Amino acid sequence: MIVVIFRAKTRQLDPDYGVISARMRELALGQFGCLAFEAVTEGQDEIALSYWPDEDSVRAWKSHAEHVLAQQLGRERWYESYVVQVAHITREYRFGNKDYGTQPKITPFLIKKHP
């Protein structure tokens, strides 16, 4: 399994940001094999983790036309800076008896942006 770690420093976010980020999440999960997506924002700091079955899925997602446009808008309008890291998950540890279902064996969550 692959995890893509996106860390950013945001500028002023506008209503388009929410619309486009929701569309990107929908596309990634629905058409490109993304297994789970988690995002947290605190102040200007944003981190998003997306989980993928393989690198081919990540490459296809990165080069999809709508996603390329969203990346461009991010650089022009919403992000002061960002870094993307791609890593292989080689092992996982758990505590407790809760069954988290099939892969990925992580608990998806979303913390909404503060106003």
C-beta of residue 43 within 8 angstroms of C-beta of residue 62: no
**Residue 53: cis peptide before it, omega within 30 degrees of 0:** no
Structural domains counted in the chain:
1
User: Looking at residue 91, what is its pLDDT?
Assistant: 84
User: Looking at residue 98, what is its pLDDT?
Assistant: 63
Q: How far apart are CA 25 and CA 11, in angstroms?
A: 20
CATH number of domain containing 60: 3.30.70.100
User: Looking at residue 106, what is its pLDDT?
Assistant: 46
Ranges of residues in the chain whose predicted pLDDT is under 70: 98-115
User: Looking at residue 113, what is its pLDDT?
Assistant: 46
Residue with tokens 């388009």: 16
Number of C-beta neighbours around residue 43 at 10 A: 9
Range of the domain at 60: 2-88
User: Looking at residue 110, what is its pLDDT?
Assistant: 45
C-beta of residue 57 within 8 angstroms of C-beta of residue 33: yes
Domain assignment present for residue 105? The answer is no
Domain assignment present for residue 83? The answer is yes
Single pTM value for the model: 0.79
User: Looking at residue 65, what is its pLDDT?
Assistant: 96
Residue type for position 48: A
User: Looking at residue 95, what is its pLDDT?
Assistant: 83
